[in-house]
Homo-oligomer: A and B are copies of this chain.
């Protein structure tokens, strides 16, 4: 991840928070900076990372900042049921959508510019300015359909296929 991009993301969040009555304290800046570097993390991972940089920052502050970020839609909390809940920067997902097999857990990340085009259109229709988006499709892959869609009660993260081909 180029640090220029990180900087950009940080500034985008900073702007969102800073233009309000919410103070951009050094603690919060640090939390946001580390979060945008991670993209995916658990709360405790972020706590550990932030405290490595500055041990005086309290766990509660990290959680309180995460709550702020959730409120503004920058962060989403997901419970995938293996391990602790996962926090995700919505930026991370804005440019690859997900297709997941509910049987074997395979995840395909795909890109579809025409969807993004329609998103722009929708957003314009309602006079919004788009910041981020999430888009997930759930289904059955061919193999699972053929073997009768055996459900696997997962205790490990699903496999991930990143699709490089842009449609």
Contact = CB atoms under 8 A, between A and B. Distances in A.
A127 B102 contact: no
A100 interface: yes
A131 B145 CA distance: 12
Given A16-B151, A67-B81, A135-B135, A122 B99 contact: yes
Interface stretch (A27-35, A49-57, A72-80): A72-80
Number of this chain's copies in the complex? 2
Contacts of A125: 110, 167
A164 interface: no
A131 to B, nearest CB: 5
Contact of A81 (B16, B20, B71, B132): B71
A13 B130 CA distance: 34
Interface residues of A toward B: which range?
A: 35 or more
24 contacts: A16-B102, A19-B149, A20-B148, A20-B149, A21-B150, A21-B151, A67-B81, A71-B102, A71-B154, A99-B128, A102-B131, A115-B119, A119-B137, A127-B141, A128-B139, A128-B142, A130-B138, A131-B138, A131-B139, A132-B138, A134-B134, A134-B135, A134-B136, A135-B136
Given A110-B125, A122-B167, 9 more contacts: A22-B153, A71-B154, A72-B102, A99-B128, A102-B131, A110-B122, A123-B137, A128-B141, A129-B139
